[in-house]
Amino acid sequence: MKLSQHYTRTSVYATLTVLVIGAVIYYFAINYIGTQQLDRALQQQLTEAEEYIRSNDGNPQLYDLDRDHAVFVKTNRQLLLKRFFDTTYFNPKEQRSEAGRAVEDLVKQKDSNYKVVITVSRAGQKNLIELISIITLALLAGLLAVLFVINKYMLNGLWKPFQLTLNEIKQFNIADVDQFKGKPSKVDEFTELNEAIREMSLRVTHDYLNLKQFTENASHEMMTPLAVVTTKLDTLIQDETLSAEQLEQIADIYSSVNKSSRLNQSLLLLAKLENKLVTEEEPISLETVIETKILQFQELIEKKELTIRHTLYPRQIVASKYLVDILLNNLFSNATRHNVPGGSIIIDLNSDQLSIRNTGTANVLNRQQIFERFQKGKDSQGAGLGLTLVKNICQLYGYTIQYEYETGWHKFVVTF
């Protein structure tokens, strides 16, 4: 739920609660005051009636206070507590019953006692309460409407700089040259937020650049010592007195140095791909490149007695030749290396996708993990960067790479 909705909801609930409680209190207060006034009026009439009876000794039945209902009933009771109560009032003019208020008391005239009941209409008071209620309800509705409008338009307007900042953060890419700018805002909080994000992005970009530089420098610096080791070994093996055992040791050193330098090159290439530093592009006929690649792998394919079948439809792409070569190399070498003796490779190329299928061990590979760095099979000789390179090259050109497994067939699909 959006912040403005939260705010609207809370403010509406609060307003409603306060207004409803207020209205109830208001109602009772007005009712109470109204009743008090009626009771005072009744008391006055009662006093008048008593005075009239006492002074005139007349027949109380003849007394009619302003044609209001005053009823005198002779009674033998000596004691009657004066009380005010709600009752119905018959309006003689309009010939209908209305809510009324009455007072009951005992009036003494010489020897006879009368119970007097005086009733007045409460219609006026009712009307007043109704009117006040209507006004209150109208106020309530008006207030709610104003609240809605304010929240909807005013608040959304207030939050606009926040939305802009948020959009900019979403588009922020650490590898981009574009820095976070942040639209200027009149609101202090947003200005502060933008300032903080700007500082953070600068720091992050700086750290990232440092790290990138570090990776590149480290890999480069590694190349020279590796070159020294290689050339020293090349010189060392010229010695004719070396024993077979020593030569074997040197051969092992050779392969380790070779592994390190390949690993280093892969890491450098990954760093380059991630920083989008490979920019040279040219149109490439993929079908021709694949045919050449098949020829290049011919020796290996023959050695493992693999059959290779391919259906290649012409497909032109614009990419770096160097990267396409690495991509195909990795896919081909996986398809041959992880194949079974006497197995097959099937290559299909059409305008949408390139798929390379190969027979292999009957266990399905982990779809997510195989593309991660340094994830490799048990019998793999590489560093585990091959498929990571493949994935990153695909990403660079907006292709997708997928792995599928189907009863003994491992399939890699590049979708353009």
**Interacting residue ranges for other proteins, rule: CB under 8 A:** 220-221, 223-224, 226-235, 237-238, 244, 247-248, 250-251, 254-255, 257-258, 261-262, 265, 268, 272, 278, 280, 296, 299-300, 303, 322, 329, 333, 337, 381-382
**Ramachandran region of residue 139, left (φ > 0), alpha (ψ -120 to 50) or beta?**
alpha
Output the six-digit token pair for 73. Answer: 């009933």
CA-nearest of 404, 407, 312 to 350 is 312
Nearer to other proteins, 42 or 269 (CB): 269
CA-nearest of 278, 355, 270 to 322 is 278
Nearer to other proteins, 99 or 218 (CB): 218
Residue burial 39-58, b: 16+ Cβ < 10 Å; e: rest: eeebeebbeebbebbeeeee
Give the span between the Cα atoms of 324 and 372, in whole angstroms: 20
| CB 299, min distance to other proteins, A | 5
| CB 374, min distance to other proteins, A | 17
| CB 375, min distance to other proteins, A | 18
| CB 224, min distance to other proteins, A | 5
Nearer to other proteins, 42 or 284 (CB): 284
Nearer to other proteins, 23 or 278 (CB): 278
| CB 251, min distance to other proteins, A | 6
Nearer to other proteins, 88 or 230 (CB): 230
| CB 157, min distance to other proteins, A | 50
Residue 98 is which amino acid?
E
Output the six-digit token pair for 351. Answer: 């305008």
| CB 320, min distance to other proteins, A | 8
Here the contacts of 391-395 (C-beta below 8 Å, separation 24 or greater) are 392/270, 392/273, 392/274, 393/273, 393/323, 393/324, 393/326, 393/327, 394/327, 395/273
Q: Is 365 exposed, middle or buried (0-12, 13-18, 19+ CB in 10 A)?
A: middle
Nearer to other proteins, 60 or 386 (CB): 386
Give Cα 313 to chain centroid, integer Å. Answer: 45
| CB 257, min distance to other proteins, A | 7
Residue 232 is which amino acid?
K
Nearer to other proteins, 73 or 251 (CB): 251
Nearer to other proteins, 224 or 363 (CB): 224
